[in-house]
Structure 1
Amino acid sequence: LKEGGGLSVDENLAPRSAGKVITSGILINILNPKLSIFFFAFLPQFVSTTEPNALSMMLELSGVFMLVTFIVFVGYGIFAASIRSHVVSRPKVLTWMRRAFAGAFVMLGAKLALTDR
C-alpha cells in the first residue's frame, strides 16, 4: 500500500506486428486446457441424446461461444485502449487503483480466514 513508484510504460519499445499478436493469442488459447475442459463439461447439456449429429452440434455451439467471447473481448480491448492514457499518465489514479485492489484482496482474505467449513 505504501509503494511510491508509478507505472512506467516505455513508449520507445517497437510495437509487435498484428500477426505476432494474433499468433500468440491463438497459441495461448489452444494450449490452455481449461477451455477444452469447459467445452466438454458445459456444452453437452445443450445437445440432445437423440441428436444424430452430436459432434456437429457441439462444434456449432463451440463456434457460437467463441464468436460471442471474441466480441466481448474486443469490447474490453477497445475500452481499455480508450482509458489507457488517462490511467497511465496520472499517478494518483494508479495509486487509488492499487489501494482498491489491495483492499479487495484484504477483504477476500479476511472472509476466507473467517469462513467456517
Structure 2
Amino acid sequence: MAVTGAGTPMDHRAAGRRLDRVVKAAGLDVAGETRITPHQLRYTFGSLLLEAMVPVSRVSRLMGHANEAITLGVYAHEIERHENAERTRESMRTAFGSGTFLERSGEKTQVTGAEAELPKVASLRAFRER
C-alpha cells in the first residue's frame, strides 16, 4: 500500500501520478509506449518472486492474497511459462552440453556456471503488450 506524506492511504490514481513522475525523472518514459502502472509493478514483483522459486504460500502472503488459490490463478501462466523454459533449458543441456561455446580467434572456449545460464527475467514489456 502506498501512503501520502501524512501517512494516509494513497488511492490508485494518486499512486499512478506519483509513479509517472518517478518514471519521467528516471528517464524511463518513452514516447509511444504505454505508461508503467503500479499494477504492472505489483504483477512483476509477484512474477519475479515465483521465478526465483519463492514458495507460493510466501508469495501469496506478500501479495496480500486471501489464499494460495488466488495466487496460483493470477500467476498460473507465469508458472507454466517458467516450467516450459526450464524444460527447454534442460533439453538444450542434454542435447548440447552444459555450457556455451564461444569462438575466439580460432579457438573454442566453453563458458560454464552462472555465465552460461539463460536470463530469468519477467518482462514488463510483455505485460504491457497484453
TM-score, scaled relative to structure 1: 0.28
Which has the larger share of strand? 2
Task: Please say which structure displays the higher CA radius of gyration.
Answer: 1
* Higher relative contact order (Cα pairs below 8 Å, separated by 6+ residues): 1
